[in-house]
Structures are given as structure tokens and as C-alpha cells.
Amino acid sequence: MSDYYDVIVIGGGAGGLTAASGAAAFGAKTALIHEGPLGGDCLWTGCVPSKALLHTAQLIHSARRAAPFGFTQTTPLDYTKIREHYLKAIRVIQKHDDPARFEGLGVTIFPGKGAFVDDRTVMINGQQQITGDRIIIATGSRPFIPSIPGLQKVGYVTNETFWEMTDLPKRWLALGAGPIGLELGQALRRFGCEVTILERASTILANEEPETVGHLRAALEQEGIHILTNATATYFAKHKQAIQVTLQIEGRVQQLVVDRILVAAGRVANTAGLNLEQAGVEVDEKGRVVVDQQLRTTRKHIYAVGDVNGRMPFTHVAGAEGKAAISHALFHVKSKLDYDTIPTVLYTDPEFVQLGWTEQEARRRGVRCQTYRLSLDQVDRFITDDEANGLLKVVTDHKGKILGAQAVGRGAGDLLQEVVFAKHFNHKIGALSQVIHPYPSRVGAVQQTADLYWREKLFSGRLNQLLKLYARLLRRWRRKGKK
């Protein structure tokens, strides 16, 4: 006979851990099935080690740029020390995902792989069955490996295996100009490697706002990163101790010799082996679990959160979806996530951040919109810090309601959070102008951008003419009063 649980969670990444701990906190008998250490991709092979690596790369880059200010860096690079730093970051943060912590919250953890027997029953490691009233799928995603002749023979690394390296090859080719390819590519370049990034589309980050993307690309290329768009790799072969790559770039065939391949060509949902068909759970053409606005699958008591549903594959989104799924599963709360209020950040330097709609998206939807644009070379703090290359854009409707925002610049992810707050709580852009910001600060860029809204309203057009008339009449009245 199967053990019964109120909630079964399959997957112990950000979404699964949030859902499991939330369910247990509200008194639900909760089971968590997870293969491998808790924490998921973000802790072990994603956000945590990559951000630690990027921080180290930024420090090294800043030291190299310090010569004009009287400091010269001469110490050779020690990759062992770099590796120690990101491994330490993993160890420290892993304590938050320790199994004992979740067991202390009341979660029963089953190490291993779960597979559906039917829509209520899950088999663990092919041996033990448990039954649940509500089931949450949170199995995440894995790297997509393109089928290119020779790739398997020459070998490659992904974001999952990159961290196992103990040395640092000199010449790199990254397949894909998404977050992984761009972030790791820039870190490698700052460590002194030669980096080429290959992208099939006509631009990097093809779905994002063109002007901010252009700023980012220019900054990366200025550091010496070779970005090839409209380009594909067609063949890989071993060449002495290196790898020879045949490329097709806008119809032309070229050869490139590198030492290591980084596959960063996207991700696929981890649904293999779950036996979803046994539960009646449908997936789309890309293998992602289909969900509704409450994150329910085609079986309404089964939910899917995080990368496995493919809606917005980021750690902070997975956590939010885990909360939303449990709220609905336990309390039938029908509120839905507004993905247009959730920012996404690319942690290159400069950072790239996207929120809601771009101007192009607003116009495509037939919305009358206005874009307020501020170049960061107009912000004093960015000038003093010699980081004035970037811009901030806020898109509104004709009444000032915030539809979206984009930014590229040092610390742009933190910078834009004030706009995220305003959009989430339906504050108009003008409200950001009324908040007094410290001077000189980077976040002052938000106020300066919002000031553009009032400048347009107050210093031009009919309202400006009326205000001028009112001020003139008021002055005349005051003069008469003095007489």
C-alpha cells in the first residue's frame, strides 16, 4: 500500500524547495523527491558559481583598467584561486538548502528519481510508491546539445561541467549568445582567453530591445570578444592538440581553431523518465509541461513550476511560481503571476535588464506609447565612476502608466528595481520623479528619467501655455496688491 501525502514535490531546485517548504509550513504532509544534492542547477552549476566567477573577473578587469589612476597590476592569473572562490560560494549558500533544514520543517525527503504510475501515484527509484492529493513537478531543465557532426568526438563543456575544470584553456568557442554564452564568455575574456561567440540569429538576445542590446554588444566587442551572428558551426574535428571548427557565416565557409567548446545553445525541460503520459500530463512541441494561469497542468491537481514549464526560466521566477502553486493547491487562491512585472537580468558587465514590454511590443499591440530615454553619461555618479556607457529606457502609455523598461549599465539589475516596484503597484512614471533620491547616486538615473515625463508635460504643449498664463496673471495680481 502506498504512503499518502497531501503534497508531493518532484524536484529540489528553487521552485521545488519553495513549494515543499511552503506546504509543510501550512501543515500539509509533504514529500520531496529529488535526484542528487538539493539546490538544483542554480546553486551547483548556474547562478551561484557563475556570479562568483563574474565577480572575480570584474575585479581583475578593474585592476587592469587602473593604470591611468596610478596602479599597475603585475600578478599572474591563478585559476586555482578563482576556482576556490566559486566553490566557497557554493559551500556557504548550500547551507540554506541542506536536507536537515527541510526535514526540520516537516518535509520528508526521498533521494532518487520519481516517475508517475498514474495521476496520483509516484514511483521512487522503481521501488517505492507514494500517493499524493496534490503533485508539483519542478524538475528544471538541462543544456540542449545540438547535433553537429564531430561535436561529440572533440568534446565540449556546458554550464553543468564548466565548473569541473581545473585548468583554463586559452582559446574558446561558445555556441550561443544567450545568458550563459555571454556571461561565461566575458569572464573567460577577462581572464585573458581568446573568446568567439557564435549566434544563429542576426543579433545577440534577438527577442530583447534592440538599442540596449546594441549597447551591450558594443561593450563586449570593445573588450575583444568576437561575436559572430548569422553564423553556425557545421563540423568539428581534432587538430593536433586543438579543435578545428568549420563555420558558415552568412553563406561563407570559414575555419577556426580553438582549444575548448562551450555549448550554450539553450535548454530543454527535464521531463524524460517522468512518465507524464501515465498521469495524463501534456507537454508542448518543445517538451515543456503545459500549464494554465494557476500553473496547473492538464490534470488540475498536478502543477508544474520553474524551467520545466518554460514560461520564464529564471531562478527568481521558479521561486515565485512555487509560492503561487502552493497557494492555489492548498487554499485555492486564484491570483496569477503577472510576468510583465518580473525583471530578467543578464549579469554581464555592463548588466542588461528587461522588464515588461519594449516600445516595439507596445506598438505591435496597438498601444499608444511614449519612451523616456536617458543616457547614463548624463548621470553624475556614473561619470565619477567612469562607467557612463549605458542607458535607461522606460516605456509608458499616453497617461504615464509604466508598460516596461530596459537598461544596460553597471549594476543595471539593481538600478531598475525601483521601476519594477512602481510597475508592480501600478504607480505611474511621474511618481518616481517625486521621490527624492540621494546625490550622487546611480539610482538617481531613475529620477532623471522620470523627470523627462514632467519636463514633457510642464515645459511644452498646451499645459505649458496654460501654466505660463496662470503665472503671468498671478504676478500681475501680486503687483496690484502691492499698490
163-175 tens-digit pLDDT: 999 999 999 999 9
Question: Residues 6 or more apart from 189 whose CB is under 8 A from it?
Answer: 195, 223, 224, 225
Question: Which helix or strand (DSSP H or E) is residue 94 part of?
Answer: helix 79-94
Question: Which helix or strand (DSSP H or E) is residue 457 part of?
Answer: helix 444-458
Q: Domains of the chain by range and CATH?
A: 3-39+97-143+268-337 (3.50.50.60), 144-265 (3.50.50.60), 341-462 (3.30.390.30)
Res. 248 pLDDT band, cuts 50 70 90: very high
Task: Say yes or no to pLDDT of 441 above 90.
Answer: yes
Does the annotation place 178 within a ligand binding site? yes
Dist. CA 305–CA 291, nearest whole Å: 9
Give pLDDT, residue 394.
98
Question: Which helix or strand (DSSP H or E) is residue 125 part of?
Answer: none
373-406 tens-digit pLDDT: 999 999 999 999 999 999 999 999 999 999 999 9
Task: Say yes or no to pLDDT of 211 above 80.
Answer: yes
Polymer length of the chain: 483
Q: Please provide the average confidence, as pLDDT, over all residues in the chain.
A: 95
Give pLDDT, residue 378.
98
Does the annotation place 140 within a ligand binding site? yes
Most confident option among 72-76, 249-253, 276-280? 276-280
Does the annotation place 15 within a ligand binding site? no
Res. 482 pLDDT band, cuts 50 70 90: low
Res. 467 pLDDT band, cuts 50 70 90: confident
What sign does the CA torsion over 358, 46, 62, 258 have? negative
Residue 233's alpha-carbon distances to 162, 249, 353, 467, in angstroms, are 20, 9, 29, 62
Does the annotation place 139 within a ligand binding site? yes
Give pLDDT, residue 3.
94
Task: Say yes or no to pLDDT of 324 above 90.
Answer: yes
Give pLDDT, residue 483.
57
Question: Which helix or strand (DSSP H or E) is residue 390 part of?
Answer: none
256-267 tens-digit pLDDT: 999 999 999 999
Res. 456 pLDDT band, cuts 50 70 90: confident
CB 293 within 8 A of CB 286: no
Does the annotation place 251 within a ligand binding site? no
Task: Say yes or no to pLDDT of 476 above 70.
Answer: yes
Does the annotation place 229 within a ligand binding site? no
Task: Say yes or no to pLDDT of 335 above 90.
Answer: no
Hey, what's the cell of 184?
561565461
Res. 275 pLDDT band, cuts 50 70 90: very high
Task: Say yes or no to pLDDT of 348 above 60.
Answer: yes
| The model's pTM | 0.94
Task: Say yes or no to pLDDT of 191 above 80.
Answer: yes
Does the annotation place 177 within a ligand binding site? yes
Does the annotation place 180 within a ligand binding site? yes
Question: Residues 6 or more apart from 115 whose CB is under 8 A from it?
Answer: 122, 123, 126, 273, 274, 275, 278
Dist. CA 411–CA 427, nearest whole Å: 23
Hey, what's the cell of 148?
553537429
Hey, what's the cell of 216?
551591450
Q: Which residue has the cell 496597438?
A: 366
Dihedral over alpha carbons 330, 336, 338, 339 (to 10 degrees): 70
Does the annotation place 310 within a ligand binding site? no
Dist. CA 53–CA 353, nearest whole Å: 20
Does the annotation place 181 within a ligand binding site? yes
